[in-house]
Structure 1
Amino acid sequence: MSDVLEETAGLKEKVGRYGIWSVGLRSEDPSRRGELTEAAADLEELGFGAVWLGGNSSARNALPLIEATRTLTVATSIQSIWEHEPADSAAAFEALEASHPGRFLLGLGVSHAKLADQYRRPYSALVAHLDALDAAGVPAGRRVLAALGPRTLELSRDRAAGSIPYLVTPEHTARAREILGAAPLLAPEFKVVLETDPARARALARDSLAVYLALPNYTNSFLRLGFTEDDLADGGSDRLIDALYAWGGEDRVRDRVDAFHQAGADHVAIQVVDGGSRDALPREAWRRLASLLA
């Protein structure tokens, strides 16, 4: 356990206070490799400590970004346990660790019943997956879990370096920190809309939120946080939207991000929502974020 705690302390220092969450950075299109590696190098230069590869990403997606940077931590957020065998994940981790020690972080999760045909007893399946990773030599201190509910947060504390909750609020972060204790990494994802017009900002947020409102893992999490069924209806109430998305001027956005740190987060993985393709790289918005968070 002392080895895990020591490694986790080092991990917190490596990832720093802020990172970028992006589906676009995980692209496997060979024609985009130069664009992706240039963007990763830019993010490192801007001072972000980590990039989180959205969707069902893997070590294969991380390699080009690691090769293009010097210190940036590249993490999966998340790698679905249903679509990647532990032995394959362990082999990929070992190869990356041999060539670029300490640069890759394995983010794991159970995904959703609507997205995985084999979805059965997800908590038990996650425990078995971690057992297999242990047997294959993937250190607990180099993996994190996408945890929303109390049991999975406890698993993040006991069997991983911490938790990477997605689509949460500072209130969830405070509860998660209480369960995790002080040592584990707590790195929530948070969505930012760099738009000052309330109607425009909320419209962009609702477009983004629509897919998640069809997934019970998230809607159950919202209900646990005190939102109601009425909040989940018709694309989400203003109350729900304003809790899950930061929008407005720079001071307001910075305050919303800082609220996660005040609630106990070590790191915030920021996802830009701008109405564009999820595969796009909003590099100008990333530069604006770096400036306002500096």
Structure 2
Amino acid sequence: MDLGRTGIWSIELRMADPGEITDAAAELDELGWGALWIPGLGGGDILGDSERLLRATRSTKVAIGVLSIWRHQATEMAAGHTRLQDGYGRRLLLGLGVSDPAAAQSAGHAYRPLSDMSAYLDKLDQAPRVPADERLMAALGPKMTELAGRRTAGVHPFMVTPEYSAAARELLGDGPLLAPYQAVVLERDPGRARAAARDFLGGFLAMDHYARNLRRQGFTEEDLAGGGSDRLIDGVVAWGDVETIGNRVRAHHQAGADHVCLHVVGAGSGLPLPEWRELAVLTR
């Protein structure tokens, strides 16, 4: 599935007023964004929220980035995915994640991420089937990345640097999709930009699986403390003007990424339409 070079990742495209979401999705389609990404959050009607975006758009793809395998049954997701693909021209990409031990425990299971994901993929291989090229994984570590490369379209890593993209591409080899998430702040002032980034990303630094991956990327315990050092924030968040953000997008592409999805943070409440419009030059 061709997602284009850039996409929009947005919590607001799930949580805002449905009418505003519909209007925004139609405009983003016209602006040329290759894909609209929505997060799994705490569950809910992820297929219904995906269908709203599919109905509002003509060519833009819709990607779930990502649903927790502990909150959504594979058989239900497969049936819904098949229905939406048949109805909207095979434009939906089903993103999957194993979350963390707490999510598994809340579902009454021990946490065995590789075997848990493999079992979920096995269920998606049964009728109604979700083809490998219509699903991807939120892989971070090397073993999960290798599994994604073998059994799905590819990977959607969160909070990573272009250097991580280069390492992931080497591990995946040619072919599998590499679609990193990239937080962006359209703000030139370093203090304000970093503060906005910390407001959003700070909580993730305390989550073990994200902290482990940041350490694999060369960040230290000191970088992880206090909501993230300037070095860490600057490494995983692109801030500044559109040209500066475009340089980060290009760095991911040069490192081997196929598609980069941009999440505007620090823009206040509501849909960040002005920022999406300003960033639309990066679709070309």
C-alpha RMSD over aligned residues:
1.4
Please say if residues 60 and 92 of structure 1, whose CA atoms lie closer than 8 Å, have aligned partners that are also in contact.
no
**Structure 2 partner of 1:120:** 111
Residues 18 and 268 of structure 1 are in contact (CA less than 8 Å); yes or no, is this contact kept in structure 2?
Answer: yes
Task: Give the 3-state SS of the residue equivalent to 1:251 in structure 2.
Answer: helix
- Pairing 1:268–2:260 present: yes
Of stretches 51-60 and 251-260 in structure 1, the one that deviates more from structure 2 is 51-60
Q: Pick the aligned partner of 1:172 from 158, 164, 179.
A: 164
* 2:281 paired residue number: 291
- Residues 29-108 of structure 1 mapped to structure 2, 5 A cutoff: 32-56=17-41, 58-108=46-96
Change (3 A) 1:169 1:126: same
- Counterpart check, 1:282 vs 2:272: yes
Offset from partner CA, 1:152-200 (integer Å, 9 cap, x none): 1111110001111111111110111011111011100001000000011
- In the aligned structure 2, how far is the partner of 1:202 from the partner of 1:24? 21
Task: Confirm or deny: 8 A CA contact 1:165 1:188 kept in the other structure.
Answer: yes
* 1:216 is the counterpart of 2:208: yes
Count the aligned residue pairs: 277
Q: Tell me which stretches of 4 or more aligned residues in structure 1 moved more than 6 Å.
A: none
- C-alpha contact (below 8 Å) 2:8/2:262 kept by paired residues: yes
1:23 and 1:55 in contact (8 A); partners too: no
Q: Give, in whole Å, the separation in 2 of the partners of 1:255 and 1:166.
A: 19
Structure 2 vs 1, CA of residues 129 and 234 (structure 1 numbering), >3 Å: closer, same or farther?
same
TM-score, normalisation: structure 2? 0.94
Give me the whole-angstrom Cα distance separating, in 2, the residues matched to 1:209 and 1:113. 20
Identity in percent: 51
Unpaired runs of 5+ residues, structure 1, are 1-10
TM-score (norm 1): 0.90
Any residues of structure 2 matched to 1:142-291 within 5 Å, and which? 142-274=134-266, 276-277=268-269, 280-291=270-281
- Give, in whole Å, the separation in 1 of the partners of 2:276 and 2:103: 29
> 1 CA distance for matches of 2:268 and 2:98?
27
- Gapped runs of 5+ residues in structure 2? none
Q: Give the CA deviation at 1:122.
A: 1.8
Residue 88 of structure 1 aligns to which amino acid in structure 2?
Answer: E
3-state SS of the aligned residue for 1:270?
strand
For residue 51 of structure 1, report the CA deviation from its aligned partner: 0.4
The CA distance in 2 between the partners of 1:220 and 1:60, in whole Å, is: 33
CA displacement 1:20-75 (0-9 Å, x = unmatched): 00011123x7xx22111111111111110100012336222110111111111111
CA distance in 2, matches of 1:189, 1:220: 17
Which segment is superposed worse, 236-245 or 50-59? 50-59
